[in-house]
Amino acid sequence: MTTEVRADRWWPRAYQPSWLRFDLVAGLTAAAVVIPQAMAYAAIAGLPVEVGLYSASVPMVAYALAGTSRPLSVSVTSSIAAVTATAIAGTPDPRAAAAALAVFSGLFLVLGYLFRLGFVAELISAPVLTGFKVGVGVSIAIGQLHALLGVDKEGSHLVTQLWDAVVALPHASVATMALAAACIAVLLGLKRLVPAVPGPLVVVVLTIAATVLLRLDDHGIALVGQVPSGFPTPQLPAIGKNLDLVLPGLGVALIAFVESIAAARAFQAKDDPPVQATREMGALGLANVVSSLLRGMPAGGGMSQTAIADGAGAKSPLTGMVGAATVVVTLLFLAPVFSDLPEAALGALVFVAAIGLVDLGKVGRILRTNRRDGLLTIGAALGVASMGALDGIVVAVLISVLTLLYETSRRPVETITAVPRRAPQTGPVPEGLLVLRPGSDIYFANVQRVRRDIDAIVAAAPVRPRVVLFDVPDVSMFEYTAHEGLRQMVDDLLAQGIEVWEVEPRPDAREAALRYRRHHGGGPPPRSFPDLPAAVATYRAEHPQVVDPPVTQGEEG
């Protein structure tokens, strides 16, 4: 695949006419999957099916104009639908609540863009995100059992829903179960045997035709019912009546952003321009604000529809605009047709999409690669399944952040015993000079650990050091607690008659240290050197009587 167009310059200056055929085919192909999926995901959220179509139309255009990914398809996703369902459950007007949730999540994303918070995409680690999706998939799949059985949905908790489905089995509709089983078989069969054929579209067309020809509703099979045609009139969301959705909006924004970045990066060709995380925040925020104005629900980049667009040869974001136009045409002229869509078919679409999230093979690979990461994956899945998707986001972020803090707080301080071979003058570090290199950036979570490591190294040195040299050119030390702890450590070393030197840190880190000393005292800064060889040469010049120990372990290569 060859494309040199930047996502923000695709029209009209950089667009190549030869791409048009590919973008048209890719857009129509993606729409064939997006349309039935958007309806199904709206059902997950407990909303009318047309709400999903609203969120798959103009919001995609907004993303295409502002985003940086070539094939990313922005619509409703199963994860976002699950979080939305939890957030708006019990509200007096779910549609108004969903629109308010969309605008809150959109505004959070726009704020993230303005404050350049693209790094937030890394807050949820890949293993934890995998666990989150597994938990969401299990929750959604169990939540659709009532539709597959043709019984009423009563419970809201996962275990309650599962138990209610078991109890309702004797009262289930045989016709509904048969239709659902047939739909699931078609979806799984096409996905496995003929993946190029859009299974969701096939199921929708076949079941609507069956309803018209065989009058399935006369056999006890429930239908979706009336789907209004036409395009919604834009209106401001009812923000004031839904202020309790502000925090859930933050959760939706986070999962939408993380999922979208993951999809954009997964399908980024080697000659594509890089995906700009911060710019993506703004584009997704704009898409969600637009969705709220159409009384839609929150939207984000979906992995499945993006994969289809990319596989169909998408060359530019025009693919998304073609897909959006197809959705609009569907709303204007084809919406009444969907009134004959059986709920069992919609439930089958949701069920198959949900079990697609339950990637047990990936969980196993993570577990075999790194046991702790595997346990984090399982923990995130259990957290979502037991507490719901919205609280599951909080659990996922907490697990990721705590894991990061744990990892960085335990990295040891390294003792450097030789000047690197790449330096003009190589050789062992002379006796009396103790060169120390922290294993990570220094901040509140690990500064005391660093102090303890350094105290232990100094105490265990075979020759009492005259100078402790900190080799920190790539270490960040901006955080206040780190400055406090390091000042106390330097004071302790000076009290023992040990000089403190440093290899010059990065300019921003050095400036932060100078600001700290200016406002809090702490004496003059350590003697600073441009690199390790210069510091060693100075030490040799000032202490000509020292001898060089033999280099054993820890030699720099």
Mean pLDDT, 10 residues at a time, over the chain (557 residues)?
A: 43 75 92 92 94 96 92 93 93 97 98 94 84 90 91 76 88 94 96 90 94 93 91 94 96 93 87 88 97 97 88 89 96 93 93 91 95 90 85 81 83 83 66 92 90 94 93 79 90 94 87 84 82 91 77 47
Domain boundaries, the chain: 17-404, 414-542
Residue 6 has what pLDDT?
Answer: 44
| Alpha helical stretches, state H, 169-224 | 174-193, 199-214
Whole-prediction pTM value? 0.79
Residue 2 has what pLDDT?
Answer: 40
At 100, which amino acid appears? A
- CATH 3.90.1150.10 assigned to domain 414-542? The reply is no
Give the Cβ contact number of residue 553 at 10 Å: 6
> Which residues on adjacent β-strands are paired with residue 415?
436
d(CA 261, CA 263): 5
Asked if residue 12 has a cis previous peptide bond (ω within 30° of 0), the answer is yes
Token output for 54: 């609203």
Residue 550 has what pLDDT?
Answer: 60
Residue 520 has what pLDDT?
Answer: 83
Residue 105 has what pLDDT?
Answer: 98
Residue 155 has what pLDDT?
Answer: 65
Alpha-carbon separation of residue 242 from 107, 232, 285, 529 (angstroms) = 14, 21, 19, 58
Residue 129 has what pLDDT?
Answer: 86
For every residue of 493-523, DSSP letters joined together read: HHHTT-EEEEE---HHHHHHHHHHHHHH--S
Which residues, in sequence order, are CB contacts of 468 under 8 Å at separation 6+?
434, 436, 454, 458, 493, 498, 499, 500, 501
CA angle 184, 150, 187 (to 5 degrees): 10
Residue 298 and residue 45 in contact, taking contact as beta carbons nearer than 8 Å? no
d(CA 46, CA 395): 24
Residue 8 has what pLDDT?
Answer: 46
Residue 6 and residue 14 in contact, taking contact as beta carbons nearer than 8 Å? yes
By three-state DSSP, how is residue 416 classified? strand
Residue 161 has what pLDDT?
Answer: 84
Token output for 92: 């007096």
d(CA 432, CA 128): 46
